[in-house]
């Protein structure tokens, strides 16, 4: 199996561990040789993900030398390369057209609109001085970035123009302007097989995401929403995946709930980002990465049931720009009952940038407990003990 791991991914270790547990021979592909896992030795190849045609060619050349049974991309940057190469090699894959739509928010919105899937009203824009009027508040975002980067709420025309200017400084246009929809936001993690969606987990996001930026923090599962609401979330996600044309592999969806209304905010042809998957265990302690690998290789998926205990993760926010000096209080945070782990993923001395310009979090805090409320309290208590020192 070939694992496509962009240089900046956090997830190399977890995916390699999952494949090794299954006895799968793994080749790791990344943009730069120095970014590849040192332990992989000659099972590491350079795949230039930034150059689409060259990347696909590199994979097909590898296949001629050592035939592949599956190609798995671990985050957004590699999904289109992986599925295109898989199609050419006759491996299990999504439609490249469908995957491309998940990487272009405008194309995604148009596909959902054609099938009348509930979503915010939207329009594309190229010029900050000629933005569509969808009413206020609205949300201005790039069509291609992920992780809330470049996503800004605007409450009036002047703020919308200023937001558009900031977004265009991060990426090439066009922009997507959307109706702001209120409500509680949730994330749904699923696995598609022959077009059928199996829901793996629904995460609540208890911190309100109201803008002006949309920095995610706490994810807790199982969801505290009623069973009928969760069933509607699953149905809407399945309809969204079908509308886009996704049929195989992991799906990560973001949805909003307000009363009887539910809207699709995003849907991606990948599993949950960062190290958040470490909050999930299935069957007899199986990781999310192992489920993804099993699916790609068409191995048995006997038990997709999430563990009984509640679990959660907190993505540690970056509050201001500067150089990270240190994170104090780690031992005190880890001593909080229910906390199971803490990973600081930004090295000391590295510059950190908050949203909307930033593209990463400071790290990840994990907890488990009997109930979702217990997990949320543990995460908040542990975070309160951390002292993040950022210098100008």
Taking the C-alpha atoms of residue 195 and residue 153, their distance in angstroms, rounded to an integer, is 34
Q: What is the per-residue pLDDT across 342-377, written as a single tens digit (0 to 9) for each?
A: 999 999 999 999 999 998 899 999 999 999 999 999
Query: Are the CB atoms for 26 and 16 separated by under 8 Å?
Result: yes
Distance between CA 204 and CA 257 in Å, rounded? 11
What are residue 233's phi and psi, to 5 degrees? -60, -45
Residue 75 has pLDDT above 90, yes or no: no
SS (H, E, C) 373-384: HHHHHHHHHHHH
Altogether, the residues listed in the chain come to a count of 392
Dist CA 279 CA 220 (whole Å): 9
Side-by-side strand order, sheet with 2-4: 44-46, 27-30, 2-4, 71-73
Q: CATH second-level architecture of 121-179?
A: 2-Layer Sandwich (3.30)
Phi, psi of 284 (to 5 degrees): -95, 60
In the predicted model, what is the mean pLDDT of residues 337-341?
A: 98
Put simply, whether the predicted model's pTM sits higher than 0.85 gets the answer: yes
Q: Which two tokens stand for residue 372?
A: 């979702």
Summarize the confidence of residues 142-149 as an average pLDDT: 89
pLDDT at 188 over 80: yes
Residue 81 · residue 49 · CB < 8 Å: yes
Residue 193 near residue 182 (C-beta atoms within 8 A): no
8 pLDDT above the threshold of 80? no
Please report the pLDDT score of residue 74 as a whole number: 86
Same fold, 2-101 and 309-392: no
Q: Are strands 2-4 and 71-73 parallel, antiparallel or unpaired?
A: parallel
**What's phi and psi for 102, nearest 5 deg?**
-75, -20
Q: Are 222 and 310 in contact (CB under 8 A)?
A: yes
Rounded Cα distance between 189 and 251, Å, is: 6
Per domain, the residue ranges of the chain are: 2-101, 121-179, 309-392
Give residues with Cβ within 8 angstroms of 62, minimum separation 6: 2, 27, 29, 45, 68
The pLDDT score that the predictor gives to residue 276 is: 93
**Range 12-24 burial, b when 16+ CB lie within 10 A, else e:** bebbbebbeeeeb
Q: How many CA atoms lie within 13 A of 299 on its CB side?
A: 15
- Give me the residue label for tokens 């824009």: 125
CA distance 99 to 82: 10
Query: CA 303 → CA 198, 235, 263, distances in Å?
Result: 11, 21, 29
Crossing angle of helices 12-21 and 288-296, in 10° steps, is 60
Query: Does residue 153 have a pLDDT over 50?
Result: yes
* pLDDT of amino acid 33: 61
Q: Which CATH class is domain 2-101?
A: alpha beta
Largest CA distance in the chain: 58
Instruction: Report yes or no: 29 and 302 within 8 Å, Cβ to Cβ.
Output: no
On whether the CB atoms of residues 60 and 85 are closer than 8 A, the answer is yes
- pLDDT tier at 256, thresholds 50, 70, 90: very high
Cα-trace Rg, the chain: 21
pLDDT (tens digit per residue) in 302-323: 889 999 999 999 999 999 999 9
Nearest to 263 by CA among 271, 272, 274, 254: 254
Residue 172 has pLDDT above 50, yes or no: yes
Eight-state DSSP code of residue 348: T
Rounded CA gap, 238 and 198, in Å? 9
Element at 322 (helix H, strand E): strand 322-328
User: Residue 225 CB: number of other CB atoms within 10 A?
Assistant: 15
pLDDT in tens, 94-109: 999 999 999 999 999 9
Specify whether domain 309-392 bears CATH 3.40.630.40.
no
CA 242 → CA 114, 193, 239, 357, distances in Å? 11, 12, 5, 32
Q: In what helix (H) or strand (E) does residue 71 lie, and over which residues does it extend?
A: strand 71-73
Measure the CA–CA gap between 362 and 343, rounded to whole angstroms: 9
Q: Is the pLDDT of residue 19 over 80?
A: yes
Dihedral of the alpha carbons of 41, 44, 46, 48, in degrees to the nearest 10: -140
């Amino acid at each position: 199996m070939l694992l496509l791991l962009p240089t900046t991914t956090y997830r190399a270790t977890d995916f390699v561990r999952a494949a090794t547990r299954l006895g799968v021979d793994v080749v790791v592909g990344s943009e730069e040789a120095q970014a590849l896992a040192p332990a992989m030795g000659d099972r590491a190849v350079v795949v230039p993900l930034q150059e689409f045609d060259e990347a696909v060619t590199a994979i097909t050349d590898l296949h001629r030398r050592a035939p592949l049974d599956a190609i798995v991309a671990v985050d957004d940057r590699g999904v289109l390369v992986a599925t295109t190469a898989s199609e050419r090699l006759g491996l299990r894959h999504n439609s490249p057209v469908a995957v491309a739509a998940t990487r272009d928010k405008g194309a995604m919105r148009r596909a959902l609109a054609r099938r009348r899937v509930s979503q915010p009203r939207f329009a594309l824009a190229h010029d900050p001085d000629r933005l569509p009027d969808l009413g206020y508040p609205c949300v201005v975002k790039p069509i291609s970035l992920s992780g809330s980067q470049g996503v800004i709420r605007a409450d009036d025309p002047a703020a919308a123009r200023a937001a558009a200017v900031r977004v265009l400084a991060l990426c090439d246009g066009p922009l997507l302007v959307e109706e702001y929809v209120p409500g509680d936001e949730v994330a749904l993690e699923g696995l598609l097989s022959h077009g059928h969606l199996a829901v793996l987990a629904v995460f609540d996001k208890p911190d309100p995401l109201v803008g002006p930026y949309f920095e995610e923090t706490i994810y807790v599962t199982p969801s505290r929403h009623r069973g009928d609401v969760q069933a509607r979330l699953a149905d809407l996600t399945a309809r969204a995946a079908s509308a886009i044309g996704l049929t195989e592999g992991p799906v990560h969806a973001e949805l909003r709930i307000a009363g009887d209304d539910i809207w699709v905010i995003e849907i991606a042809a990948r599993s949950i980002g960062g190290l958040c998957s470490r909050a999930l265990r299935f069957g007899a302690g199986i990781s999310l990465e192992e489920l993804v690998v099993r699916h790609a290789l068409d191995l048995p998926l006997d038990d997709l049931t999430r563990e009984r205990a509640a679990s959660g993760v907190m993505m540690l926010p970056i509050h201001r720009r500067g150089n990270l000096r240190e994170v104090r209080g780690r031992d005190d945070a880890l001593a909080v009952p229910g906390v199971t782990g803490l990973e600081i993923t930004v090295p000391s001395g590295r510059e950190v940038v908050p949203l909307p310009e930033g593209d990463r979090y400071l790290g990840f805090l994990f907890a488990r407990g009997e109930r979702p409320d217990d997990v949320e309290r543990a995460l908040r208590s542990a975070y309160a003990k951390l002292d993040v020192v950022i210098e100008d």
